[in-house]
Amino acid sequence: MFLSARFASFGPCRPARGWGRPACGVRPRPCIGGRIWPWWWCAATSIRVWPRWKPARPDALILAAAGLNRLGLGALVKEWLDPLAAPPAPGQGALAIQTRAADAAAPWLVPLRHRPTTLAVAAERGALAALEGSCRTAMGAHATVAGDRVHLVVEALTPDGAQRFRREGAADVADEEGARELGQLMGLEIAAEGGARLMVG
Task: Tell whether the model's pLDDT for residue 117 goes beyond 80.
Answer: yes
pLDDT band at 31 (very low <50, low <70, confident <90, very high): very low
Phi and psi angles of residue 3, each rounded to the nearest 5 degrees, phi first: -120, 135
Domain ranges of the chain: 2-76, 101-198
Looking at mean pLDDT, say which of 110-119, 131-140, 177-186, 187-196 comes out highest: 177-186
pLDDT in tens, 125-170: 999 999 988 766 788 999 999 999 999 999 998 877 778 899 999 9
CA nearest 25: which of 76, 79, 67? 79
Query: According to the model, what pLDDT value does residue 141 have?
Result: 95
pLDDT in tens, 38-80: 555 566 666 666 566 555 666 777 777 777 777 787 777 777 8
Task: Tell whether the model's pLDDT for residue 121 goes beyond 70.
Answer: yes
Q: Which H or E element spans position 35? A: strand 35-38
Task: Tell whether the model's pLDDT for residue 34 goes beyond 60.
Answer: no
Query: According to the model, what pLDDT value does residue 39 have?
Result: 58
Q: What is the mean pLDDT of residues 100-114?
A: 88
Distance CA 181, CA 134 (A): 19
Query: According to the model, what pLDDT value does residue 137 have?
Result: 75
Distance CA 78, CA 46 (A): 16
Angle at 99 between CA 95 and CA 100, to 5 degrees: 155
Task: Tell whether the model's pLDDT for residue 118 goes beyond 70.
Answer: yes
Distance CA 26, CA 145 (A): 28
Task: Tell whether the model's pLDDT for residue 191 goes beyond 50.
Answer: yes
| Cβ atoms < 10 Å from Cβ of 17 | 14
Q: What is the mean pLDDT of residues 183-193?
A: 96
Q: Is the pTM of this model over 0.85?
A: no
CATH fold, domain 101-198, is Double Stranded RNA Binding Domain (3.30.160)
Distance CA 111, CA 165 (A): 38
User: Sign of the C-alpha dihedral, residues 12, 14, 18, 21?
Assistant: positive
Question: Mean pLDDT, the chain, as a whole number?
Answer: 78
